[in-house]
Structure 1
């Protein structure tokens, strides 16, 4: 080959090499961009997606986002284990309690619900209505193999009426339970000049005690702490949950177990007025922080943990779970109490708060959904999951609840919560008796009444009458 031909050949090889490099570079860039675009397209704010699947095959699960990371990690591990055992892809997404119910309703309207949804708030505000409307799959085949392990009260809470096929059946799977507890700072009541043994057990003196603690603390220099961490907002489920217990404490019965509304009874009306007056007096007397009329679900937790209130009721063990890693705070500084006796002197009756999972009737993977839930509620699996989740919620199976992990007095929070569940009287929330009451929960009718008294300064009588009328209108739509 002459020198000119050699030069041309060398030039062509260099040019070809440059083109190949450019081709590979452009191909790599295009591949990276396609992955980024796909990720942005398939995920939503607030969702955590694992193993992005083929949507035609994947089991889709929407789960209540935990208060702590370990809660999310615990269910993630269960999902991973099941997915590997069954060689089945799973898409697990977490959403806050405030978002999950609304997102589920939008998905149903669009005809694209997930296969499984687990939500604590939806258990009272949405699920009974979905069962009534025939939107849920019957999960009796999931529950019946382990039915003997559940107490009757739990089974009653998940047996809902389907108006489409005119029968009551199991339409939800009980996952865990909690109750309403009272948390407080031991060192703050000592700073106010009291000991734990000074806390009364009868109704009026119990609540007056926390008022006196505030008075004593605020008489000290640079103290603005409040005695009570009650919520008065429409946005907070704690307002509803606490006030339902106040109605129970005052022996106000709104519905019969058959779903008959008793709210027109003059005695019931007066009980509602008295309960509203009792609850709102603490705001009016400034024994709760200003701003509690605007609290959201986590704000009572935050105010206690920030030590701006001495005590707060809360409907789970999320507060001690937050400080579990701080042994001194968990064991010694943070206290937990049962509710005092009712004004009548009778022991308090608690409202069962069952966390439930549902399978939608339009689920594309109903068989896989039921297989996953059957796997999750096996005694060993469900106990391991609840332990790994940090103990914010407790087992629903009595045999598990009696295990030493939950009853050990060395853990003051778990053992007290377990004692309440095992020994105290309870009943379901009213939405179990009639699905119309789930709209009362969703609209937070009691939160509206309470908020109007403290913000708009209407009388308890007027707020009660407006609430009664609103509830009657809701129930009239279900006749």
Structure 2
């Protein structure tokens, strides 16, 4: 009887032990889930810089934030040509990063993503530092959400980019043109043609006067051409975003400007491969000394030569644009660089926390300087750093003066989301290709461009 009782007690004890083990086992996944939620990883996709210092500056900000908050960050860098496609693919798959930054995003997809309701409202990130921005900067990130029928802040402004002219000072001296670069419009462009002619007489047949982008594969083509349109007082959209291209005088101006711009290529003053350039190719062509000057929508060209003081300080120069054809002072077009958070991102709250940290002047200032002058501040107090006004630097100080002393204007994508599609399709690059490769007239391609731009705006209106 005692033996039976002992066996019975043993069975009960085994049952209790099994129940405990099963219970512990069942609770384990829940604990794991709780642990994974507390150890969330913030994913960031960021446009790779042109040189390591820019990426290292961002990684330092990230490291400081991780140490301060005990949060984890996983950052991936993409090339300029790849990041937008990667972002679109991730959105389509429903697995976008938490924070996304493309250096050409504001020209192309950001206004469209905001319109389609794909971006998180980041007003609470901007509000605490709102008084540190100018009205025009705030306007650049105040976008329309057609899904929610409202305008708000759907991206975070961090820095700005202008359009700059660089030239080889030593080659100009070799061309026996040591006089100051002309300030008047026609004389300015003739100067580079004269310099090329003089160098050709010396047997330097591989040097071209004007390194102007003219391809459909480079967004530089559109940005540079937009600056030319601005110089000619031709604004495709008004301040309210209304298309003005249907006005007869606008059509004729576009015809004339396209004819003028492409004539440099036709007459042999632009490198033959300019019709096939990607965004980095005008940089490469210029740095290989195949062109006397080039126009570039950032300061990446001189910044890449800072280690070679002879080139940076003595051989290369950065200058402002000439006066407009009507004699007025130039207005510089600027774009505001802006990371975004997708509505389908996994950790939008965590993303806001990091961006709130990034935009603090003590964090943003070092990051922009880490770009070595490629980009410039948008917070007035950051301009006070002597780095931007040091006249011993013949490039950054000139560009800083251009952006602070001259009048500036935002690109049309900040006025109308429809115009971002004009940039995305590189309408002006297509027009140049049709003239230079396909042999169409500037009148024909202007009509094609006007028809397509009008169609784009009509499509956007029907989406409202």
Q: TM-score, normalised by structure 1?
A: 0.87
Match among 323, 327, 333 for residue 341 of structure 1:
323
Q: Which of 152, 157, 166 is residue 183 of structure 1 equivalent to? A: 166
CA distance in 2: counterparts of 1:82 and 1:426, whole angstroms = 34
Pairing 1:110–2:93 present: yes
Name 2:80's counterpart in structure 1: 97
C-alpha distance in 1, partners of 2:39/2:84?
24
Change (3 A) 1:206 1:144: same
Do the aligned residues in 2 keep the contact of 1:73 with 1:389 (CA within 8 Å)? no
Q: What 5-or-longer segments of structure 2 have no aligned partner?
A: 1-35
1:68 aligns with 2:51: yes
1:405-456 deviation digits (Å, cap 9, x = unpaired): 1111111211111111111112111111111111110010110001111111
Hey, what does 1:296 align to over in structure 2? 278
Among residues 442, 449, 458, which one is paired with 2:424 in the alignment? Answer: 442
Q: After alignment, is 74-83 or 433-442 more displaced? A: 74-83
The answer to whether residue 138 in structure 2 is matched with residue 162 in structure 1 is no
- Per the alignment, residue 141 of structure 1 pairs with 124
User: What is the rounded CA distance, in whole Å, between the counterparts of 1:361 and 1:257 in structure 2?
Assistant: 29
For 1:471 and 1:342, locate their aligned partners in 2 and report how far apart those are by CA, in whole Å.
25
Cα distance per residue 1:181-213 (max 9 Å; x no partner): 100010000000011x43100100000000000
Q: For residues 3-82 of structure 1, what are the structure 2 equivalents within 5 Å? A: 57-82=40-65
Check the 8 A contact 2:39/2:71 in 1, yes or no: no
**Runs of 4 or more consecutive aligned structure 1 residues displaced over 3 Å after TM superposition:** 53-56
**Alignment correspondent of 1:232:** 214
CA distance in 1, matches of 2:180, 2:68: 55
Contact 2:44–2:73 (CA under 8 A) maintained in structure 1: yes
Unaligned runs of 5+ in 1: 1-52
Q: Say how many residue pairs are matched.
A: 426
Q: Do 1:229 and 1:311's aligned partners in 2 also have CA atoms closer than 8 Å?
A: yes
SS in 2 for 1:400: helix
Quote the Cα distance in structure 1 between the aligned partners of 2:429 and 2:175. Answer: 32
Deviation at 1:56, TM superposition (A): 8.2
Work out whether 1:470 is the aligned partner of 2:449.
no
Q: CA deviation at 1:222?
A: 4.3
Residues 163 and 334, structure 2, Cα contact 8 Å, conserved in 1? no
CA RMSD of aligned residues (A): 1.4
Within the candidate set 327, 333, 350, 1:351 is matched to 333
Report the Cα offset of residue 276 of structure 1: 0.4
Structure 1 equivalent of residue 392 of structure 2: 410
Residue 240 of structure 2: aligned partner: 258
Aligned twin of 1:393: 375
Q: TM-score normalized by structure 2?
A: 0.90
Match of 2:21 in 1: none
2:434 is aligned to: 452
Is 1:318 the counterpart of 2:313 in the alignment? no
> Shift of the alpha carbon at 1:279?
0.7
In structure 1, which of residues 286, 295, 298 is the aligned counterpart of residue 268 of structure 2?
286
Cα 1:55–1:346 change in 2 (3 A) is: farther
How much has 1:311 moved relative to structure 2? 0.5
Query: C-alpha deviations, 1:214-267, integer Å up to 9, x for none?
Result: 000011024421011001100011111111011111111211121111111101
Matches within 5 A, 1:359-370: 359-370=341-352
Q: Deviation per CA, 1:65-86: give whole Å up to 9, x if none.
A: 1111111111122112212221
Distance in 2 (CA, whole Å) between partners of 1:55 and 1:416 is 49
- Contact 1:203–1:342 (CA under 8 A) maintained in structure 2: yes
The separation in 1 between residues aligned to 2:204 and 2:235, in whole angstroms, is 44
Counterpart-to-counterpart distance in 2, 1:214 and 1:252: 30
Deviation at 1:55, TM superposition (A): 12
Conserved? CA contact 1:120–1:354, under 8 Å: no
Residues of 1 paired with 2:451 and 2:355: CA distance? 40
Greater displacement, 208-217 / 365-374: 365-374
- Distance in 1 between residues matched to 2:117 and 2:318, nearest whole Å: 41
CA distance in 1, matches of 2:456, 2:306: 42
- What SS does structure 2 have at the residue aligned with 1:351? strand
CA contact (8 A) 2:167 2:316 kept: yes
Return 218-227 or 240-249, whichever deviates more: 218-227
